[in-house]
């Protein structure tokens, strides 16, 4: 696996939060938790989750409203959102999907089924996490074989540069801050200076340009990096 996918769980009931955290971590995901809609909106901006599991009934702003607010942000436009609800009415299901949710699961649900749905959404949105080959322009990344090529020529990358490229190539055009890259590529518990990010981005650029192609990584002043 290239970069551990992050799942954001938005749920206010402590027992359900713990069941989800335990099972998602056991399945190999990085989990971040929000217990209210307001917290979810802030956390989504900080964590850039790969999948969101969103309870409908929340204190303060409802899951439906959170869904609408997340969808309105450019960087969250394609992030899969799975809504959880105690409501089983067809009209509610349609309303949930209308607001921009990708899937809708009725409580009480089987955890195994929810995990299968998370994986299905990732397969679509984060192909490298499930071992598929990703192409962007003339760059090809094969996560299962840990290989990268550009214009058909194999490129040798260190493990950190590989993980950086895997993250960037799955979200072309998206601007990542150095802190977000540190969290996602190095892990949140590792002490690394943000300048380390610049060093590794520099190495990745050099490797990608070794065959003579242009620089596909854009530096966004005051913000971070994006792959174009
Ligand atoms: Ca709830």
89-147 tens-digit pLDDT: 777 777 778 888 999 999 889 999 999 999 999 888 887 776 778 889 999 998 878 89
The number of angstroms, rounded, from the C-alpha of 154 to the middle of its chain's C-alpha atoms is 27
Q: If you measure from the C-alpha of residue 58 to the centroid of ligand 1, how many angstroms do you get, rounded to a whole number?
A: 5
**Per residue in 160-215, pLDDT tens?**
999 999 999 988 888 999 988 988 888 766 778 889 999 999 999 999 998 788 99
Q: If you measure from the C-alpha of residue 84 to the centroid of ligand 1, how many angstroms do you get, rounded to a whole number?
A: 9
Name the fold adopted by 6-128: Rossmann fold (3.40.50)
Q: If you measure from the C-alpha of residue 160 to the centroid of ligand 1, how many angstroms do you get, rounded to a whole number?
A: 39
Q: If you measure from the C-alpha of residue 59 to the centroid of ligand 1, how many angstroms do you get, rounded to a whole number?
A: 8
The interaxial angle of helices 14-26 and 111-125, nearest 10 deg, is 60
Q: If you measure from the C-alpha of residue 55 to the centroid of ligand 1, how many angstroms do you get, rounded to a whole number?
A: 6
Q: If you measure from the C-alpha of residue 214 to the centroid of ligand 1, how many angstroms do you get, rounded to a whole number?
A: 49
- CA–CA separation, 219 vs 120, rounded Å? 33
- CA–CA separation, 27 vs 1, rounded Å? 13
**Per residue in 20-33, pLDDT tens?**
999 999 999 999 99
Predicted TM-score (pTM) of this structure:
0.72
- CA–CA separation, 183 vs 101, rounded Å? 26
Q: If you measure from the C-alpha of residue 10 to the centroid of ligand 1, how many angstroms do you get, rounded to a whole number?
A: 9
Q: If you measure from the C-alpha of residue 43 to the centroid of ligand 1, how many angstroms do you get, rounded to a whole number?
A: 18
CB within 8 Å of 75: residues ≥ 6 apart:
48, 171, 174, 175
Number of neighbouring beta carbons within 10 Å of residue 73: 12
Q: If you measure from the C-alpha of residue 74 to the centroid of ligand 1, how many angstroms do you get, rounded to a whole number?
A: 27
**What does the domain layout of the chain look like in residue ranges?**
6-128, 131-227
**Strand boundaries in the chain, DSSP class E:** 6-10, 30-34, 51-55, 81-85, 103-106, 133-136, 139-142, 147-150, 153-155, 176-177, 217-220, 224-227
Specify the CATH architecture of the domain 131-227.
Orthogonal Bundle (1.10)
Q: If you measure from the C-alpha of residue 11 to the centroid of ligand 1, how many angstroms do you get, rounded to a whole number?
A: 6
Q: If you measure from the C-alpha of residue 13 to the centroid of ligand 1, how many angstroms do you get, rounded to a whole number?
A: 6
């Amino acid at each position: 696996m290239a970069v551990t996918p992050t799942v954001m769980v938005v749920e206010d009931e402590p027992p359900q939060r713990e069941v989800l955290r335990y099972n998602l971590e056991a399945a190999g995901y990085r989990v971040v938790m929000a217990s209210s809609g307001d917290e979810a909106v802030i956390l989504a901006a900080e964590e850039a989750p790969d999948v969101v599991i969103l309870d409908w009934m929340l204190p303060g702003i409802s899951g439906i409203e959170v869904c609408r607010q997340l969808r309105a942000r450019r960087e969250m436009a394609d992030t899969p959102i799975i809504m959880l609800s105690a409501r089983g009415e067809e009209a509610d299901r349609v309303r949930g999907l209308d607001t921009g949710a990708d899937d809708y699961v009725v409580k009480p649900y089987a955890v195994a089924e929810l995990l299968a749905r998370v994986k299905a959404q990732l397969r679509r949105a984060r192909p490298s996490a499930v071992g598929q080959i990703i192409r962007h322009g003339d760059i090809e990344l094969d996560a299962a074989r840990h290989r990268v090529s550009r214009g058909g020529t194999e490129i040798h990358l260190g493990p950190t540069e590989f993980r950086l490229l895997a993250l960037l190539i799955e979200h072309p055009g998206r601007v990542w801050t150095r802190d977000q890259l540190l969290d996602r590529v190095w892990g949140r518990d590792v002490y690394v200076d943000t300048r380390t990010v610049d060093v590794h981005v520099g190495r990745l650029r050099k490797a990608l340009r070794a065959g003579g192609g242009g620089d596909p990584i854009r530096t966004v002043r005051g913000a971070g990096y994006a792959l174009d």
